[in-house]
A and B are shown apart, each in its own frame.
Chain A
Amino acid sequence: NAGVMQNPRHLVRRRGQEARLRCSPMKGHSHVYWYRQLPEEGLKFMVYLQKENIIDESGMPKERFSAEFPKEGPSILRIQQVVRGDSAAYFCASSPQGAATEAFFGQGTRLTVV
């Protein structure tokens, strides 16, 4: 029973490049949440998606960031034209229903922008 799988675990990008972070939810889970953790801080909500739908993107920066959860395949968090301030750990969580309190977290992707 695999947990939430995120890849890559570590990602290095130069300023201006694109970063793509992938998240495969637990089997049977159709709800995905993305959080960002800056150094020495707690996690900050970014976006909540169901299959093919963005339900709540209130925590997502208005520019350069996008997320999708297609009918088939993993959820993708895309960051275009990365800047140094995007360096952080990005965590995905999934739940069987739309309750964030029942979500399980993946191991995260550590993004470093150089």
Chain B
Amino acid sequence: TQLLEQSPQFLSIQEGENLTVYCNSSSVFSSLQWYRQEPGEGPVLLVTVVTGGEVKKLKRLTFQFGDARKDSSLHITAAQPGDTGLYLCAGALSGSARQLTFGSGTQLTVLP
């Protein structure tokens, strides 16, 4: 069983549409991160959220950390083909900053 459940697993949308990706757990995380991974490359960090209820914006991307620090969401406004990629959430469990627990990822395809 996955400690971090991501949904949806696959998402294919048209350019200009909005989308939300979810990352849920029954465990509490001291922080949660979102990465984007291109084919053949390593994950690249997009954002880290630390405080329950925190909202961070990165251009058209909005990240939210749940109040209880068990879940997070990534919302993309007006998606573009350049947003295509694998989006991974990852968290550091409370009391364990030495390793990250990753979700299984959401493969996003934005069609022109």
Contacts and interface: CB of A to CB of B under 8 A. Distances in A.
Interface of A: 4, 33, 35, 40-45, 48, 55-56, 58-59, 91, 93, 98-101, 103-108, 110
B19 to A, nearest CB: 19
Contacts of B44: 105
Contact-residue size bin, chain B (C-beta under 8 Å from the other chain): 20 to 34
Contacts of A107: 40-42
- In the A-B complex, the 6 residue pairs with the smallest Cβ-Cβ separation, listed nearest first, are A42-B102, A105-B42, A45-B99, A43-B102, A42-B104, A100-B100
A94 B44 CA distance: 13
Majority DSSP secondary structure for residues of B touching A: loop
Interface string B33-50: 100000011111100100
B97 A99 contact: yes
A98 B97 contact: yes
A48 B99 contact: yes
Nearest to A48: B98
Interface of B: 2, 4, 6, 31, 33, 40-45, 48, 88, 90, 92, 97-105
A46 B103 CA distance: 15
B99 A33 contact: yes
A41 B42 CA distance: 14
